[in-house]
């Protein structure tokens, strides 16, 4: 093979939220088993077993809950914490005081620029109050980020955004984000752009797309994601990325899912204990295979430096 690829960097980016229900609505009453049981006892132990370094992207309601913050602060092992915004749940223009039974109605990028900035600033402050340092990685709720969102994140000191899902266009009543032509591999976006790569600058936030593979005759790609892909499909997605990007020195594989997926009935996905076990076993098998192929694991923010050197 005449591949130039010297490094495969695997990241695991997890939207870390309160428990939901099988209809993808927040549990009523609100519960946090995904944080107090899921993160320490199901996820982190699984990642530790293979040497993976997850990035838990934390939502407002998780950081507002003392038991969750305590559980996260005492988490052992290697991991990164970043933030994840569902814009209706934080000031200014906060829409809900009680999150129980609520869906996440809107994209952050549907708000005016200054309102979105202030929401992100408040989310970032909440993180800093909880953990004593600033977060540097982020994903928008429902992937609803645009170029202005990236500018806002950059002003707040973020190094990596992972809101882009190649080949997919997402819509809600007040906004659309169109990632159908987005690059598959990490890039420094051009000024005032989100899916167009630009010249590298030290100041620029790195966009790390969720790893997918397009499918013939299907509008949606397959995701590098447990439950959405079997172990064989995960291998196939990695091989596709390595083939397609053989000209790149570094190839990134970015797994995505939600913390709630490892609690039975707390998402539309695993509904039984056996389902959860299968989810975790497949996730570990997929990551273990990546390791055997020579991949290294890292938190999302570490990629900023990696790509600085690769640029």
Beta-carbon count within 10 A of 49 CB: 12
Could you tell me the smallest distance in angstroms from the CB atom of residue 141 to Zn ion?
4
Q: Which is nearer to Zn ion, 63 or 238 (CB)?
A: 63
Q: Which is nearer to Zn ion, 62 or 212 (CB)?
A: 62
Q: Give the count of residues interacting with Zn ion (CB under 5 A).
A: 2
Distance separating alpha carbons of residues 264 and 100, to the nearest angstrom: 18
The number of residues in the chain equals 311
Q: What is the rounded CA–CA span in Å between residue 169 and residue 157? A: 27
Among 141, 166, 189, 286, binds Zn ion (CB under 5 A): 141
221 binds Zn ion (CB under 5 A): no
**Helix, coil or strand: residue 172:** strand
Candidates 12-20, 33-41, 160-168, 270-278: pick the segment binding Zn ion (CB under 5 A). Answer: 12-20
Least separation in angstroms between residue 98's CB and Zn ion is 18
H and E: helices and strands count for the chain: 9, 12
| Cβ(4)–Cβ(246) below 8 Å | yes
Q: Of residues 10, 15, 44, 250, which one binds Zn ion by CB under 5 A?
A: 15
- Smallest distance, Å, CB 161 to Zn ion? 14
Q: Which stretch binds Zn ion (CB under 5 A): 7-15, 32-40, 190-198, 199-207?
A: 7-15
Residues 104-123, interacting with Zn ion (CB under 5 A): none
The helix (H) or strand (E) run that includes residue 297 is strand 296-297
Nearer residue to Zn ion within complex by CB, 47 or 99: 99
The window from 141-149, 152-160, 236-244, 269-277 that contacts Zn ion (CB under 5 A) reads 141-149
Given the complex with Zn ion, which of 84 and 159 has the nearer CB atom? 84
Tokens at residue 256, please? 């995505």
Residue placing its CB nearer to Zn ion in the complex, 15 or 161: 15
- CA–CA distance, 135 with 156 (Å, rounded to integer): 9
Nearer to Zn ion, 20 or 204 (CB): 20
E strand residue ranges, 127-191: 137-140, 160-161, 169-172, 175-178
Angstrom distance (rounded) from CA 305 to CA 205 = 11
Helices 66-73 + 113-131 axis angle, to 10: 60
Q: How far is the CB of 104 from Zn ion (least distance, A)?
A: 6
How many angstroms separate the CA atoms of 175 and 170, rounded?
9
Q: Which residues bind Zn ion (CB under 5 A)?
A: 15, 141
């Amino acid at each position: 093979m005449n591949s130039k690829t010297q490094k495969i960097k695997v990241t695991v980016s997890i939207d870390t939220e309160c428990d939901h229900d099988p209809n993808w609505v927040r549990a009523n009453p609100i519960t946090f088993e995904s944080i107090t049981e899921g993160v320490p006892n199901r996820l982190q132990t699984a990642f530790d077993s293979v040497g993976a370094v997850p990035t838990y992207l934390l939502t407002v309601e998780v950081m507002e809950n003392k038991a969750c913050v305590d559980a996260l602060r005492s988490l052992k092992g290697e991991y990164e914490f970043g933030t994840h915004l569902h814009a209706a749940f934080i000031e200014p223009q906060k829409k809900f005081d009680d999150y129980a039974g609520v869906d996440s109605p809107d994209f952050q990028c549907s708000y005016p620029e200054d309102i979105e900035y202030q929401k992100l600033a408040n989310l970032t402050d909440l993180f800093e109050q909880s953990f004593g340092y600033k977060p540097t990685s982020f994903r928008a709720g429902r992937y609803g980020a645009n170029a202005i969102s990236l500018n806002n994140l950059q002003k707040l000191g973020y190094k990596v955004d992972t809101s882009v899902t190649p080949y997919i266009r997402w819509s809600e009543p007040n906004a659309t984000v169109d990632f159908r032509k987005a690059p598959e591999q990490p890039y420094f976006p051009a000024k005032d752009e989100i899916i167009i790569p630009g010249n590298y600058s030290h100041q620029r936030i790195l966009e790390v797309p969720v790893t997918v593979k397009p499918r013939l005759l299907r509008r949606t790609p397959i995701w590098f994601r447990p439950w959405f892909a079997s172990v064989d499909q995960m291998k196939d997605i990695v091989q596709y990325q390595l083939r397609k990007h053989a000209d790149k020195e570094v190839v990134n594989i970015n797994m995505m899912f939600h913390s709630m997926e490892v609690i039975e009935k707390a998402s539309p996905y695993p509904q039984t204990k056996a389902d959860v076990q299968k989810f975790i076993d497949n996730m570990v098998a997929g990551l273990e295979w990546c390791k055997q192929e020579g991949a290294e694991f890292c938190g999302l923010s570490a990629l900023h430096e990696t790509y600085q050197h690769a640029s």
